[in-house]
Amino acid sequence: MKKIIIAAAATVFFSAMASANSGLADRISDARSYPTKTESTKVSETLKMQHKKIHAQMGKLELKANDPA
């Protein structure tokens, strides 16, 4: 009888842990904390353009530095 009670208690304990890891709280928290996508998209597009310009400038500088003339 004692073994059955211990087994039942272990089953309840592990099933409670499994349901707690469903991630619902994480999804709710993430939805509240992330900014709207339109604002972040505009910022990321601006950063992409700046990044491309910097790379182009670096490429030009490297070509000038490697030019033997």
| 12's tokens | 């309840």
- For 36, phi then psi, to 5°, come to -65, 150
Same domain, 3 and 22: yes
Same domain, 26 and 40: no
pLDDT one-digit tens code per residue, 36-64: 665 566 777 888 899 999 999 988 887 77
* Residue 55: domain span: 36-69
Same domain, 20 and 41: no
Whole-structure pTM over 0.85, yes or no? Answer: no
Asked whether the predicted pLDDT for residue 5 surpasses 70, the reply is yes
Same domain, 9 and 29: yes
Report the domain count for the chain.
Answer: 2
Same domain, 15 and 44: no
Same domain, 9 and 26: yes
Same domain, 29 and 2: yes
Beta carbons within 10 angstroms of residue 2's beta carbon: 6
